[in-house]
Copies of this chain bind each other. A is one copy, B any other.
Amino acid sequence: MQSISVYDSLTGQKVPFKPIKEGFLSMYVCGPTVYSYVHLGNLRTFLSFDIVYRYFLHLGYKVRYVRNITDVGHLEDDADFGEDKISKKARIESLEPMEIAQKYTNDFHDMLKKINNLPPSIEPTATGHILEQIEIIEDLIQKGFAYQTNGSVYFDVKKYNQTEDYGILSGRNIEELLNHSRDLEGQSEKRNPQDFALWKKASPSHIMRWNSPFGVGFPGWHLECTVMSTKYLGETFDIHGGGMDLKFPHHECEIAQGKAAYGKKPVNYWLHANMLTLNGKKMSKSTGNTILPMELFSGDNAFFEKPISPEVLRFFMLQAHYRSVLDLSNDAILAAEKGFEKLKAAYFWLLESSQAEKQSSIDIHSWKQKCYQAMNDDFNTPILISHLFEGVKYIDGLKSNKQTLSQEDLILFQETFKEPSNRENFASGLAYLKSQPRAICSPPPKQFP
């Protein structure tokens, strides 16, 4: 069994990964709030955890990978203020909120499939777990960590912090938070400004609402992840992933909720994927410095000189480590395309090759081990890719007869490079670099239009 190191955001250190149960991995990743088309930054995050998922599968782990769909409760402002994102969009588009959620869930699935992400083992929805959310709120109230006020329920951060450490993940100091909190409408019903909503009273105009012992309302955003992760993975599980921007307050709140409800830390390793920028700047709708995945793929945009295929985007993203900021630009992605074509050409040549000699002039075993070492080192895909390009040099050497491989080594070289032939076997080989599924059920387009 390979031994993997992961960078744990909570301790800020790279540590050896040890699963709760040998040979099993439990992983939860925060999914999208489905009120608009998925943006490229999100795609990068989900791709990062697709790599983690596939690598563990490849190593023979039995993996339960849970990634949720937030279809209610995510307010416009993290401070429990403003309108529910999906309800607002429903009002603007004159649709039932669940039509909005469905439309953008479909887009999300289409785009992830396009860049060849595997679907998670379970993809639960927030609205699908209202009962469980109500039950944990009742429990938190009973334990003194939550209080009702004016039809809403808040988590009492100060109370929690008396015995536990709120800020442990994000490194924030609760005193500092108190000083920096804004005075917003509706915040006055909280005991302290850093308290966060577990249940929000629904205003008469709010279309997404459920009955509860606390009154008619809807659950808070942070709570759903605690409920769904523990329901399907247990009170403590191996890996929790998400975008860097979710560290605070979202993941901080998850830790507090889990600890308060179950008396134990919910997660053994916190992994956070970094940002994607566009032409050196943060992507943002308000500045116009933004592009949708489908605009990138179709070429219908002002940033790129030609359409970019999903497999090139995937390869481009994997050229950076998931914890580094990655900048997307015309030049960078065209360079990635060139590199990817070169890699593919060499790879296809290799697969067809039967050019075996008595002796090997290349040490394929050691090359293979270096590939695994890269992945074992916190899923370092850029280093892995550099080894694959070293492999391309070997292939060039074989082509020009300057290098030789024995029959056995040739097969090992091919197998290591090899793509899987069907969905069941998907995670084998180094195929997590390749885009487009090859399953019987989902034949890839021959060429992207």
Contact = CB atoms under 8 A, between A and B. Distances in A.
B131 A131 contact: yes
A445 to B, nearest CB: 5
B131 A102 contact: no
Contacts of A441: 107, 110-111, 114, 294
Interface size class for chain A?
35 or more
Nearest to A130: B131
A348 interface: no
A225 to B, nearest CB: 16
A252 B128 CA distance: 27
Interface string A212-254: 0000000000000000000010000000000000000000000
Q: In the assembly, how many copies of this chain are there?
A: 2
A361 interface: no
Contact of A98 (B99, B232, B448): B232
Contacts of A285: none
A270 to B, nearest CB: 23
A251 to B, nearest CB: 23
A205 B262 CA distance: 24
B294 A440 contact: yes
B442 A449 contact: no
A119 interface: yes
A433 to B, nearest CB: 21
Contact of A135 (B123, B211, B232, B297): B211
Interface string A121-133: 1111101101100
A121 B99 contact: yes
Contacts of A443: 445, 448-449
Interface string A424-449: 00000000000000001111111111
B64 A99 contact: yes
Interface in A275-305: 294, 297-298
Contact of A440 (B98, B122, B123, B297): B297
A373 B34 CA distance: 40
Contacts of A127: 128
Max chain B C-beta neighbours (<10 A), residue from A128, A447, A449: A128
A82 to B, nearest CB: 25
A121 B107 contact: no
A120 interface: yes
A96 interface: yes
Interface string A295-338: 00110000000000000000000000000000000000000000
A48 to B, nearest CB: 21
A192 B391 CA distance: 73
A122 B98 contact: yes
A378 to B, nearest CB: 27
**Which 5 interchain pairs have the tightest Cβ spacing?**
A128-B128, A446-B446, A443-B445, A98-B122, A110-B441
Given A297-B440, A444-B445, 7 more contacts: A96-B122, A98-B122, A114-B441, A130-B130, A131-B134, A443-B448, A446-B447
12 contacts: A98-B124, A98-B232, A99-B122, A102-B119, A102-B122, A102-B123, A125-B128, A127-B128, A135-B211, A298-B440, A445-B445, A446-B446
